[in-house]
Amino acid sequence: MNMIKVSKLFYIEVAMADMTTTDQLKIPKHVAIIMDGNGRWAKKQGKNRTYGHKSGSDNLKVIARAASDMGIKYLTVYAFSTENWKRPSTEVSFLMGLLRQYLKDSIKNAKKDNMRVVVIGRRSDLDPDIREAIESLEVASKNHTGLTLQIAINYGGRDEIIRAIKAYEIEKEKHPDIELDEKLFGDFLDTKDIPDPELMIRTSGEVRSSNFLIWQLAYSEFFFVKKHWPEFTSDDLMEAIKAYNKVSRRFGGLKDES
């Protein structure tokens, strides 16, 4: 086995057959994750769905730290979709309580890990105290230079695009000369200033995007894992990165540009 240094903290073992001696593992700048399967994971063990959500929230702390140690710069995670309000109100309340706690804990953790936290999604539907917790966390962590953890809360890709169009229309009224193109449109999205993900991972076996980052994932590599989110480990993250390294990214062209 050959040890490759991918960042100052994280070493992986790669079989010699996997690589040439000069190969360097390319770490994507931005990884997006649909953290799915909390409920099924809990049910499998005879527990209720809330137990799965709590374990899922604990696992996010572990994976965010691992991502940071691997040298990933941006990690975007799908925590609550615009469609998740359809769930029973008891489950929605539990999820909102968990988010509250996560945001609170993150002030301390973000400082310790030099992590910047930002939130995307439609905030107006969230309880005022959750909106305040988001703002406090964003302000407290805005100068941290390590991993940027982008949490999608009450997020839907279609909703984000509609909000972006509305914001653009207001700007166009003020500056009739501006011309819309892909770059400018990106500036009206919640994810402005953050590069598109190179890699998107979904746990739990579903092979769909469920309204996640539908603009930003246009050219991302997708990696679907059978494991449920609470059992997804840093080794699984590294497996996804290794798979990403084997892909030839052509962006519509003919040459391997990866």
58 makes contact with ligand IPE (CB under 6 A):
no
CB atoms within 10 A of CB 42: 21
Contacts (CB under 6 A) with ligand IPE, residues 213-252: none
Closer residue to Mg ion in complex, CB, 36/221: 36
160 makes contact with Mg ion (CB under 5 A):
no
Active-site annotation holds for 84: yes
Which residue from 12, 36, 68, 198 is in contact with Mg ion, where contact means CB under 5 A?
Answer: 36
78 makes contact with ligand IPE (CB under 6 A):
yes
Active-site annotation holds for 36: yes
Q: Residue 36, annotated ligand binder?
A: yes
Q: Which stretch binds ligand IPE (CB under 6 A): 74-82, 102-110, 114-122, 140-148?
A: 74-82
DSSP secondary structure of 146-209: S-EEEEEEEE-HHHHHHHHHHHHHHHHHH-TT----HHHHHTTSTTTTSPPPSEEEE-TT--S-
Q: Which two tokens stand for residue 19?
A: 């690589």
Asked whether 212 and 153 are in contact (CB, 8 A), the reply is: no
Binding partner of residue 209 among Mg ion, ligand IPE, none, CB cut-off 5 to 8 Å per kind: none
Question: Please, what's the b/e burial string for 182-203 (b: 16 or more CB within 10 A of its CB; e: otherwise)?
Answer: eeeebebbbbeebebbbbbbbb
Torsion-angle region of residue 210: left (phi > 0), alpha (psi -120 to 50) or beta? left
CB of 124 to Mg ion, least distance (A): 24
Which residues form the catalytic set?
A: 36, 84
Residues that bind ligand IPE (CB under 6 A): 34-40, 78-81, 84, 95, 204, 206, 208, 210
